[in-house]
Amino acid sequence: MQFRGYHGCLESEQRDGNWFRVDLAYDYDMRKAIRTDKLEDAVDYGALYEVIREEMARPAQLLEHLAGRMLNVLTDRFPMITYAELTVTKFNPPLDGRVESSSVTVVYE
């Protein structure tokens, strides 16, 4: 998932924004969804996307805080999730050198 966001410690990052990618992998007991083929028996990834979109709209200074905050909200709203790994990547971070991206990964087990 890609989003324009205003995350970072520098004033310019908070003012001008940057592009970010969020990758989410998760696990839950899928046996019922496999049997029934019904969305209400699954984790709705459209609803997951909406949570992530909402959280990406709230500025944060640290990628660690942003990733952890998103993972906390996701696991609170979707208690079916038993494992999740969420990575936030900031493209072209403002460093004195050529750096394509910087990423942070948080895990819920």
> pTM, whole model, 2 decimals?
0.93
- Torsion, Cα of 52, 48, 77, 88 (10° steps): -40
pLDDT in tens, 36-79: 999 999 999 999 999 999 999 999 999 999 999 999 999 999 99
pLDDT for 82 equals: 97
Spell out the alpha helix ranges (H) of the chain.
Answer: 11-16, 31-36, 45-56, 63-77
pLDDT in tens, 6-15: 999 999 999 9
CA distance 22 to 5: 11
To the nearest whole number, what is the mean pLDDT of the chain?
Answer: 97
pLDDT for 4 equals: 97
pLDDT for 83 equals: 98
Distances from the Cα of 47 to the Cα of 11, 74, 85, 100, angstroms: 32, 10, 17, 30
CA distance 5 to 34: 36
| Domains of the chain in sequence order | 2-108 (3.30.1130.10)
The percentage of residues in the chain with a pLDDT greater than 70, rounded to a whole number, is 100
What average pLDDT does the segment 9-34 reach? 96
Band of pLDDT at residue 19, cut at 50, 70 and 90? very high
